[in-house]
């Protein structure tokens, strides 16, 4: 199986399998996702409504131009069925905030933007038969403010309720009359402005809900994914953790999960918003004016080609940038970790040059990525500007020919701007999408990796007598490199057995395989006659607890570190911590600290001495009261005075328990009931202290050359 922690970055395009797995984490938050999409729909609809409302203000209130259809003449003409139907259809109002056609006498005055809905051949026939001319009119309702002037003035066509005047003659009206005539337009402007403000508030509220809910989904998914990754990682075997650096695992749990959050907040919702705005803009353009929409459509092919080329270049640039960034990070981490060696061997200059080369490659890669966007954005902006210019040129001609309203032209300009803004946004989101796909691939590779120690045992070790037997045990960390070779020995209940040997003999490995941090390759390990593989891991690790050579304490209080893993009420937990500390003579040392058992330990417990850390690890084991204790060179870091304090307590602690002691101190093991001397992963000698000295073998040589004098 390939190692998903390889340095080479895998940068891929959209991957439907990875995307589906990411989206599967939304299931617990379906309602929140539905709220997000509803807010997205409302926000998009509101944004598209804004230019339409602007068009209504301009066409129906500001400009307010009508075309006159001579319906009396039309009645005496032989019109085609299509033209007759189109003329009849003009009597019906079309759309929100649209002014209704006004029949006055033998004429039908139709708002210019509604007349545009008839086809070109119908319009041509109506003009040819003088049913429609090129004159622009202004139609309005007669009220008390303008009645007298309108009824007496022959410039107006009126029927007592409504009137119309040629638009060119509006400027000749007195100011007070003009205000009275156009009063309805001011009311219409007020109503549309209120609708515009309501739409803006709707867009604001929907955008807020959309942003909040999308980010909440992303944060919840990250929380769930981090927890799942953590649970999966801590349940993996020691073999798995030993092969993969902690830094890279942390990167998976933090950095790569963060890229998936970007998938929700910066890609998925934003991409849907961009696509919906683009699609909505195109639909609105065709609804307003199919002829002018074709002008926009004709300018789109260069955008499609440019976007495709940009995507390919962005992918290559992103791959190069990730590879260069990984090289810089790896080199920096290695050199900083070995900084003393660099200084000892005077490699500062060479290291600087090597780092400068990698840093230069990263700079070049970053500039390449910047170059892609530096070229793409201006091109899209140029095409957007060109499209707008083409719209103005064609639209102006149509407006002058009375085949397009000014409001529609203004709406088109705004909609084109709305269409091209997402084009640039989508291209930039592509890089985030790539990063999310790569991060998702690495995260799911970790989730799919299962190297846990099988916890299939159903038996419970209760009560535990403490009889340990290794029978023909073989084990290797790497295939072909055996650490334990056909190892066999027994430890009787309540007995203290010591294990000694040269470095690499397999002493510490015995601790690991006894507690099943690693599983053996061959043979059996049994406790009280039960194979440890038939025992549940929880039961096994309750029965056997080690005191390791490298003491690890968590940041937190001293009391919390002693009772780590115990599920007790606060009062009982504190009592258990004190009792355990007293048992190993650590109580007085703990109380010397100002806060006593509430003393906060820093990361790695660097604010207390090595001897104190060792004593706390002893107390932690005693608090859990295991039946079997393994002391893995447990006193090697304790000074003479501290060791003297715990010697008396050691006898009380180990009394009644089976214990295995791995130590280099003669004072720790000379009274052991059984001493096993390992060599090459097998028992070379065994017996009590005096017997082994008499053999004058490995133990005797170690006792003479390596063990400290008996205290």
Task: Quick: pLDDT tens for 178-234.
Answer: 988 888 888 888 888 998 899 999 999 999 998 899 889 888 988 888 888 888 888
Is 0.85 topped by the overall pTM? no
530 band by pLDDT with thresholds 50, 70 and 90: very high
The length of the chain is 711
Q: What is the 3-state secondary structure (H, E, C) of 171-191?
A: HHCCHHHHHHHCHHHHHHHHH
Q: What is the mean pLDDT of residues 642-660?
A: 69
On the question of pLDDT at 5 being above 70, the answer is: no
The position carrying tokens 């294990």 is 499
Using the predicted structure, report yes or no on whether residue 354 has a pLDDT greater than 60: yes
Q: Model confidence over 387-441: pLDDT tens digits?
A: 889 889 988 888 887 778 888 889 899 999 888 888 877 766 777 777 777 778 7
Distances (CA, A) of 637 to 48, 632, 633, 634: 73, 11, 8, 7
**The predicted structure's pLDDT at residue 13:** 60
What is the pLDDT confidence band of residue 3, given thresholds at 50, 70 and 90? very low
- Residue 645: what are its φ and ψ, rounded to 5°? -65, -30
Query: What pLDDT is stored for residue 98 in this prediction?
Result: 57
How far apart CA 88 and CA 71 sit, in angstroms, is 10
The pLDDT score that the predictor gives to residue 114 is 66
Task: Give the CATH fold of the 468-705 domain.
Answer: Rossmann fold (3.40.50)
Residue 64 has pLDDT above 80, yes or no: yes
* DSSP state string for 50-96: HHHHHHHHIIIIII--EEEEEHHHHHTS---HHHHHHHHHTTS--ST
pLDDT number for residue 469: 93
For the record, the structure tokens of 611 come out as: 């001897």
Confidence band, pLDDT 50/70/90 cuts, at residue 484:
very high
Position 638 pLDDT exceeds 70? no
What pLDDT does 643 receive? 65
In this structure, are residues 203 and 143 in contact, taking their beta carbons and an 8 Å threshold?
no
- Backbone angles phi and psi of 483, in degrees to 5: -100, -40
Does CATH place domain 16-50+191-448 in 1.20.1560.10? yes
615-652 in b/e burial notation, b at 16+ Cβ within 10 A?
bbbbbbbbbbebbbbbbbbbbbbbeeebbebbeebbee
**pLDDT above 60 for 649:** no
Average pLDDT over residues 18-32: 88
pLDDT exceeds cutoff 80 at 510: yes
What is the predicted pLDDT for the residue at 96?
A: 46
pLDDT band at 708 (very low <50, low <70, confident <90, very high): very low
Residue 591 has pLDDT above 80, yes or no: yes
Whole-number pLDDT of residue 659 = 87
């Amino acid at each position: 199986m390939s190692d998903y922690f390889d340095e080479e970055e895998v940068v891929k395009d959209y991957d439907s399998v990875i995307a589906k797995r990411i989206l599967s984490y939304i299931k617990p938050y379906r309602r929140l996702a539905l709220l997000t999409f509803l807010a997205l729909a409302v926000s998009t609809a509101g944004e598209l409504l804004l230019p339409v409302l602007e068009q209504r203000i301009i066409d129906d209130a500001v400009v307010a131009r009508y075309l006159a259809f001579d319906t009396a003449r039309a009645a005496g003409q032989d019109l085609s069925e299509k033209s007759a139907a189109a003329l009849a259809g003009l009597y019906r109002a079309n759309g929100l905030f649209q002014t209704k056609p006004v029949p006055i006498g033998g004429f039908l005055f139709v708002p210019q933007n509604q007349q545009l809905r008839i086809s070109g051949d119908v319009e041509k026939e109506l003009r040819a038969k003088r049913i429609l001319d090129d004159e622009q009119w202004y139609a309005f309702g007669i009220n008390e403010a303008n009645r007298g002037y309108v009824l007496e003035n022959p410039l107006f066509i009126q029927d007592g309720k409504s009137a119309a005047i040629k638009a060119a003659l509006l400027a000749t009206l007195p100011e007070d009359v003009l205000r009275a005539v156009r009063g309805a337009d001011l009311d219409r402007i007020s109503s549309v402005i209120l609708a515009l403000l309501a739409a803006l508030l709707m867009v604001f509220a929907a955008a807020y809900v959309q942003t909040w809910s999308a980010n909440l989904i992303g944060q919840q998914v990250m929380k769930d994914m981090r927890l799942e990754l953590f649970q999966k990682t801590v349940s993996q075997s020691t073999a798995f953790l030993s092969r993969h650096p902690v830094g890279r695992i942390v990167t998976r749990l933090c950095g790569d999960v963060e890229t998936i959050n970007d998938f929700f907040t910066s890609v998925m919702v934003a991409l849907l918003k961009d696509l919906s705005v683009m699609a909505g803009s195109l639909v609105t353009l065709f609804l307003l004016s199919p002829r002018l929409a074709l002008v926009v459509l004709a300018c789109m092919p260069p955008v499609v080609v440019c976007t495709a080329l940009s995507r390919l270049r962005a992918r290559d640039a992103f791959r190069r940038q990730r590879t260069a960034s990984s090289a810089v990070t790896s080199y920096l981490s290695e050199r900083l970790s070995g900084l003393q060696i660099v200084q000892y061997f005077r490699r500062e200059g060479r290291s600087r040059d090597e780092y400068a080369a990698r840093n230069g490659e990263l700079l070049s890669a970053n500039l390449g990525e910047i170059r892609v966007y530096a070229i793409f954005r201006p091109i899209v902006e140029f095409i957007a500007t060109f499209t707008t210019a083409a719209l103005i040129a064609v639209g102006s001609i149509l407006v002058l020919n009375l085949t397009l309203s000014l409001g529609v032209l203004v709406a088109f300009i705004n909609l084109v701007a709305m269409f091209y803004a997402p084009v640039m946004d989508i291209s930039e989101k592509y890089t985030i999408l790539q990063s999310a796909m790569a991060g998702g691939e690495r995260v799911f590779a970790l989730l799919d990796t299962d190297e846990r120690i099988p916890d299939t045992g159903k038996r419970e070790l209760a009560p535990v007598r403490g009889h340990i037997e290794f029978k023909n045990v073989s084990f290797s960390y790497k295939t072909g490199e055996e650490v334990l070779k056909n190892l066999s020995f027994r430890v009787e209940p309540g007995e203290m057995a010591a294990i000694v040997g040269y470095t690499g003999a397999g002493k510490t490995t015995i601790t690991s395989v006894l507690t099943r941090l690693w599983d053996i390759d061959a043979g059996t390990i049994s406790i009280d006659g039960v194979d440890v593989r038939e025992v549940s891991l929880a039961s096994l690790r309750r029965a056997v607890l080690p005191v390791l050579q490298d003491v690890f304490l968590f940041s937190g209080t001293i009391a919390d570190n002693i009772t780590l893993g115990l599920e007790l009420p606060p009062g009982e937990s504190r009592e258990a911590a004190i009792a355990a500390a007293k048992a190993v003579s650590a109580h007085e040392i703990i109380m010397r600290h100002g806060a006593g058992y509430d003393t906060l330990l820093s990361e790695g417990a660097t604010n207390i001495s090595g001897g104190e850390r060792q004593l706390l690890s002893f107390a932690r084991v005693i608090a859990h009261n295991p039946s079997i204790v393994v002391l893995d060179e447990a006193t090697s870091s304790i000074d003479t005075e501290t060791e003297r304090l715990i010697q008396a307590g050691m006898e009380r602690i180990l009394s009644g328990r089976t214990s295995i002691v791995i130590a280099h101190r003669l004072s720790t093991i000379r009274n052991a009931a059984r001493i096993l001397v390992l060599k090459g992963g097998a028992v070379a000698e065994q017996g009590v202290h005096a017997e082994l000295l008499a053999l004058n073998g490995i133990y005797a040589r170690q006792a003479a050359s390596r063990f400290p004098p008996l205290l």
